[in-house]
Amino acid sequence: MNKLKQNMFWAVCGALGAVLVIFFAVVVFPLWSDRDAKRGQVSQQKKVLKTTSIDLSSKGDIEAWGARKKEYIEDYKAIAEAYVERDADLEKWLDKLGMAVSQFPRPDQFINPYQDAGKELEARLAKIGVGVGMLEPPREEGQEPKVHFGFNWEQISTSDVDWQKVSPADQNAVVRLVQKRYWIAEHIANACSHVEEGRTVPDVKRILDLRFFRHLHDDTQNFKPPEMRGTGTANLRVPEYIPTWVKSGGAIKYIECDLPDALGQTISFGLAVETPFDKVPKFIQNLLHPTQSPKIIVNICAMRVFAATQNALAIEHEEKYEADPAPNTMEIKARLEKIVKPVNATIWLTCQVIDFDPGKLPGFAK
């Protein structure tokens, strides 16, 4: 009996051993083999990563990058919102047209309100003592001085342009661009003064010239640039701050800069004004940070400030003094300062306006 029990025990042990061997052969050995294969793959990948200088990122790195991405998106949205807000004034139509931004007036609908707005703007400047245009001294006594340049309002009336030969798409593009150029002109006009103690104080004596670099249209016979218009300016040079490739007749046409990601274009222009030297900083401040509508983003690319004329080389005066007392030199100096006035400064500016296109913003920024 005892021998039977002993044989049964060893028989069971032998059976369990056989089962264990079968388990290792069927389950464990393949897993070990798979483990070794994956270790080999990981080792190979590490070698690849080391040779390509790519660091393995931890969970903390990924979370930090996600947080930074969120910050960048919020910053992008804030910048885009500022551009969209400033672009709203550039995109709107004149109030007299009573049109939504998405609509387009016909040229014959737009011309009269545009011309009236230009006249009203110049009258408003004249009322506060700001002149418009370059003065050509009279050649004969008694003649009135001729005025040239100024705002160079676009000549788009039916007597200047045969609109029947212009495609509807080009009509819309030209009218829209003329409207934007008007808002820029109004922005500049508003920068010529500031309100102080309830009254408007001029900071500029004259707006000499405003000239947009890009032609209104490739058809310069219909849409004439300022220097090609028949306004009696043949004897006046195009201002020196206008690059040669901007002038008509040149081989190169001016091309505006495209914003990244097709978010719009620039509108580039040259501006010349005359103002007292002490008013130069105020005018530049007003131009960059307008306190009135339209609020448009203006970037100054280049600026030159100089005295276009000079004072007389000598002031003729005759003073007689008694031997006693001695002459009052301070009184003489004060009297001469009233006679000798400082000349005005001439400012030449090359500027760009950001013509933003909100419709091209990426989805996360809208």
User: What pLDDT digit, counting tens, does each position of 111-121 carry?
Assistant: 999 999 999 99
pLDDT of 23 higher than 70 = no
As a whole-number percent, the residues of the chain with pLDDT over 90 amount to: 42
- Asked if residue 231 has pLDDT above 90, the reply is no
Tell me which of 107 and 38 has the higher pLDDT. 107
- Which pLDDT band, with edges at 50, 70 and 90, does 25 fall under? low
Average pLDDT over residues 248-272: 83
- The C-alpha angle with vertex 134 and arms to 129 and 136, in degrees rounded to 5, equals 115
Main-chain phi, psi angles of 281, to 5 degrees: -60, -35
Average pLDDT in the 18-46 region?
A: 75
Reported as type and span, the H/E element at residue 271 is strand 264-275
Least confident of 15-24, 253-262, 340-349: 15-24
Name 275's Cβ contacts closer than 8 Å, sequence gap at least 6: 203, 204, 205, 283, 344, 345, 347
Segment 132-177, tens digit of pLDDT: 998 877 777 777 888 888 999 999 998 889 999 999 999 999 999 9
Mention every residue, 6+ apart, whose C-beta is less than 8 A from residue 343: 307, 308, 309, 310, 311
pLDDT digits (tens, 9 = 90+) for 297-312: 899 998 999 887 766 5
Q: What is the mean pLDDT of the chain?
A: 82
**Residue 187 clears pLDDT 90, i.e. is over it:** yes
Mean pLDDT, residues 19-30 taken together:
68
Give 81 or 310, the one with higher predicted confidence. 81
Q: What's the pLDDT band for 243 if we cut at 50, 70, 90?
A: low
**Runs of H (alpha helix) within the chain:** 2-23, 29-51, 59-91, 107-127, 168-190, 280-288, 329-339
Task: With beta carbons less than 8 A apart as the criterion, state whether 347 and 272 touch.
Answer: yes
Separation between Cα atoms, residue 236 and residue 136, nearest integer Å? 9
Q: What is the rounded CA–CA span in Å between residue 231 and residue 170?
A: 26
* pLDDT given at position 365: 84
Give the Cα separation of 291 and 110 in Å (integer): 27
The three-class DSSP label of residue 352 is: strand
Contact of 272 with 208, CB cutoff 8 Å: yes
Residue showing tokens 């829209």: 176
Least reliable range by pLDDT among 32-41, 181-190, 240-249, 322-331:
240-249
N-term to C-term CA, the chain = 91
Taking the C-alpha atoms of residue 120 and residue 214, their distance in angstroms, rounded to an integer, is 25
What's the confidence (pLDDT) of residue 233? 46
- Give 98-108 pLDDT, tens digit per residue: 999 999 999 99
Most confident range (mean pLDDT) of 95-109, 247-261, 336-350 is: 95-109
CA-closest candidate to residue 266, choices 298, 225, 239, 219: 298
CA-CA-CA-CA torsion sign (35, 36, 37, 41): positive
Bridge-based pairing of strands 131-132 and 206-212 is parallel
Residue 234 has pLDDT above 50, yes or no: no
- Whether the pLDDT of residue 321 is over 70: the answer is no
Q: Name the least confident of 172-181, 292-301, 336-345.
A: 336-345
Q: What is the pLDDT of residue 27?
A: 67
Mean pLDDT of 202-230: 85
What global pTM score does this model have?
0.74
Q: What is the pLDDT of residue 252?
A: 60
pLDDT of residue 273: 94
